[in-house]
Every structure is written in structure tokens, then in C-alpha cells.
Amino acid sequence: NVRRTAIIRECLNRDKRAMPMVFAARCWAKRRRLHINGLNSFALTILVLHFLQTQALQSEKHDKESSIVPLPLAAFFEFYGRATLQQLAHSVGLTQTDCELPVPGATPLRIVDPVDGDDNPARSITPSALRRLRREMLRAHLMLAGDRDFDAVCSAPSRKLLCDQASLHRYGSICFGGHS
């Protein structure tokens, strides 16, 4: 859809962090094999744009002569890894009342298409895929917060659940693998 592309392009051009963050998030999702579970590039782009539009992030100082723009990747991963279901109705260009949660039994994640409010690019994400996505986002956040490089964050997925003592201490009883 030409209109959808124009809206997304406009949003990406408003913030110089947006395009590099979208590319980083897409690379991460592909290498962690998250796209298999219904998380497509369009849905991921909307998540990045929503994060950048709604989070009051301190703009880190950087050299204006440099082409390097600091990206709040750790904050992005933490936000979605720890988000409640009420926070998981996302849109670009729509108000929160336009992004009501889906009815029980429907898809666990609603990402509103900025052109077609009835379309949900995340409609194929299952509850188990959402749990895995959130677990992967918490993993990425913890690794970036621990000064791991982006290649390590994107390394091949393991079968370990994010239920270790350090994570439980830091995030309370959040555990997405059926354990608490």
C-alpha cells in the first residue's frame, strides 16, 4: 500500500535513530529466528516507531560531525520485554483509545496498522510466540546492559529460559516459560 509506505517513511525520517534501530531490530529478530513465529518486518517497524514516539528518552550527547547516532536498543528491549498486556496495543498515528486490547481468545498482541485500523500485523503471533518474544527481548536487554556487543545479542538462540536467579531478582517473578 503506497499510503502505508508513505506514513512509515515519514515516521522513520522524523527521528534519525529510527532507521538504524529498525535495521538493528530486524537483524536481531532474523538471527534469533523470531520472524518464524509471526513477527514480520512491518510489525517490528511499528514497535520501534511506537517506542521512539512514546518513551521520554534522554538524548545522549554525540558529536554532530560524527555519523554515529546512539541507539537506545537496551531500553527498547527492556520496554517490550517487561511491558504489560495493556501496554502491548501499539500504533503509529492513532490514540491509545483506538488501540484497545483484543477480545479474549484472540491474538495476544495487537499492533495497529496506521492506515487500516482493523488490520493487525501481529495477528499470527500465538501466546507461546509472544512469551518467547518477550523472553528474547529481556535476554537482549540484559546482555546489552551487561556491555555485551550486538553480535553476541544476535547469536544463535539457545533453549534456556530466562529464569535464572539474577533475572528473577532484577525483574521479580517474571518468568515466561511456565515457571514462576
**SS3 of the chain:** CHHHHHHHHHHHHHCCCHHHHHHHHHHHHHHCCCHHHCCCHHHHHHHHHHHHHHCCCCCCCCCCCCCCCCCCHHHHHHHHHHCCHHHCEEECCCCHHHCCCCCCCCCCCEEECCCCCCCCCCCCCCHHHHHHHHHHHHHHHHHHHCCCCHHHHCCCCCCCCCCCHHHHHHHCCCCCCCCC
CATH code for the domain of 82 = 1.10.1410.10
* Confidence check: pLDDT of 25 > 70: yes
- pLDDT tens digit sequence for 42-55: 889 988 988 888 87
Asked if residue 171 is part of any domain, the answer here is no
Asked if residue 34 is part of any domain, the answer here is yes
Asked if residue 109 is part of any domain, the answer here is yes
* Confidence check: pLDDT of 77 > 60: yes
Mean pLDDT of 114-120: 79
Q: What percent of the chain lies above the pLDDT cut of 90?
A: 22
Mean pLDDT of 85-107: 54
Mean pLDDT of 65-87: 75
* Number of domains within the chain: 1
Residue-range definition of the domain harbouring residue 18: 2-55+70-155
Global pTM? Answer: 0.73
Asked if residue 170 is part of any domain, the answer here is no
pLDDT attached to residue 98: 47
pLDDT attached to residue 62: 46
